């Protein structure tokens, strides 16, 4: 078991890769009453075309299968695993993103039992044809519910206007039609390929003894057998540099329009250092110009183009990335033109050293505050680990950024053919 101490953050991380390939990370925090655990696999909604374990040819599975599999793992032949956690005083959940699936719990008691439950239920799949058919109805209702939400439709509508071929433009849950194609055999194929311990990480943060906990996890894993797994082969289609379409308009029964402006980020073929710098500067510039204290936000608000629903976010992964800015607006066309003009004007912006130091101090403060959250640390550590980045090395990376870095970024960030817009407008008639 390796031990790494991060003096600046006053954190000590224990790490070990087990014989079956599982990577275990333990972060003892004895001052905390709560413990948070997350068991995640490097497998998300975009992983649709791959070579199954033990096979040689690529297969393509139905849209939404990673999310479907996440739902099914909680259901066993004789019980629902949520009840096991509840009996042990824990709160459990799971999520599927574009790039990973994660199962998690938080608890203040019965920690050993809850760790075993998390490991055991994820590593013991049970799928029957009857239960798979039943789940199609449940997830179909979930998909329809999201399709009725203008926020969700505008979010995914923006991604669909940005991406032409990459599966990031497909809803994580799939469609009502695509999930009908999912079979029990498909689920087992995806499970045995992507849920192999060598493709997974276990992260635990909270009040426990590291050596005792590592022994518990090793004993648990030693009691199970797994097939040999070579490197997983995944395949993604070629994606153009420019956006798929410049504008996407959806009509829905809404009382006020919603306008989202998307940026197709440049992330391909970057080193880890360059990738992290791009992500940090994207977040910092969006916050500086479009947060409630930003000059662009104030201008948009004064012109009555936005309300308190206005927001921004960025999602950058190793082979795709996007940022989305927008919200409700009574003047969606004006908001669209104004934000696009603001973004394009950034190519000529130059930040002074004092200005950038203020931006940097704010980012450092946000990061340090977030590090007080077990959920943030666990989720972000596993996210960055899949990218080959150590979460605890990010603070010095922020500190090392300069105004030259920011100005170089601004001059190269925005290109007109990488901007797209999605509007949700009131249905006619």
DSSP three-state, residue 372: coil
Cα distance from N-terminal residue to C-terminal residue, the chain: 66
The answer to whether 42 and 194 have CB atoms below 8 angstroms apart is yes
**How distant is the alpha carbon of residue 187 from its chain centre?**
22
- List 31, 57, 70, 279, catalytic entry: 70
> What is the C-alpha separation between 159 and 323, in angstroms, rounded?
9
Listing DSSP states for 86-126 in one string gives: HHTTEEEEEEE-SS-EEEEEEESS-HHHHHHHHHHHHTS--
Residue 70 among the catalytic residues: yes
Phi, psi of 215 (to 5 degrees): -65, -40
Residues annotated as part of the active site: 70
């Amino acid at each position: 078991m390796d031990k790494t101490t991060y003096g600046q953050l006053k954190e000590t991380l224990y790490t070990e890769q087990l014989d079956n390939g599982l990577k275990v990370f333990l972060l003892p925090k004895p001052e905390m009453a709560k413990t948070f655990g997350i068991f995640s696999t490097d497998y998300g909604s975009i992983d649709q075309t791959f070579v199954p374990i033990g096979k040689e040819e690529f297969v393509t599975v139905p849209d939404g299968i990673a999310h479907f599999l996440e739902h099914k793992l909680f259901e066993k032949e004789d019980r629902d695993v949520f009840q096991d956690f509840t009996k042990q005083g824990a709160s459990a959940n799971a999520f599927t993103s574009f790039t990973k699936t994660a199962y998690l719990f938080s608890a203040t008691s019965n920690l050993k039992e809850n760790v075993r439950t998390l490991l055991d239920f994820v590593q013991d799949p049970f799928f029957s044809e009857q239960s798979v058919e039943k789940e199609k109805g449940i997830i179909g209702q979930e998909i329809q519910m999201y399709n009725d939400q203008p926020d969700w439709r505008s979010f995914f509508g923006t991604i669909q206007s940005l991406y032409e071929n990459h599966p990031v433009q497909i809803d994580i849950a799939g469609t009502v039609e695509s999930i009908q194609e999912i079979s029990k055999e498909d689920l087992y194929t995806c499970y045995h390929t992507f849920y192999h311990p060598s493709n997974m990480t276990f992260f635990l943060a909270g009040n426990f003894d590291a050596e005792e906990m590592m022994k518990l996890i090793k004993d648990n894993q030693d009691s199970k057998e797994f097939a040999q797994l070579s490197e997983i082969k995944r395949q993604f289609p070629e994606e153009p540099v420019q956006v798929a379409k410049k504008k996407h308009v959806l009509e829905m029964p809404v009382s006020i329009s919603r306008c989202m402006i998307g940026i197709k980020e440049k992330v391909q073929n970057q080193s880890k250092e360059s990738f992290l710098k791009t992500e940090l500067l994207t977040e910092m510039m969006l916050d500086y110009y479009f947060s409630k204290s930003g000059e662009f936000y104030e201008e948009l608000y004064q012109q009555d183009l936005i309300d308190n629903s206005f927001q921004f976010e960025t999602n950058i992964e190793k082979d795709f990335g996007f940022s989305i800015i927008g919200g409700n607006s009574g003047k969606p066309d004006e908001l669209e033109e104004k934000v696009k003009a603001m973004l394009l004007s950034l190519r000529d912006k130059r930040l002074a050293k004092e200005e950038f130091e203020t931006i940097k101090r704010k980012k450092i403060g946000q990061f340090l505050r977030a590090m007080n959250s077990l959920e943030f640390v666990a989720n972000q550590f596993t996210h960055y680990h899949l990218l080959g980045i150590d979460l605890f090395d990010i603070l010095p990376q922020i500190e090392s950024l300069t105004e030259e870095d920011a100005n170089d970024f601004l001059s190269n960030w925005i290109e007109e053919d990488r901007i797209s817009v999605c509007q949700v407008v009131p249905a006619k008639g």
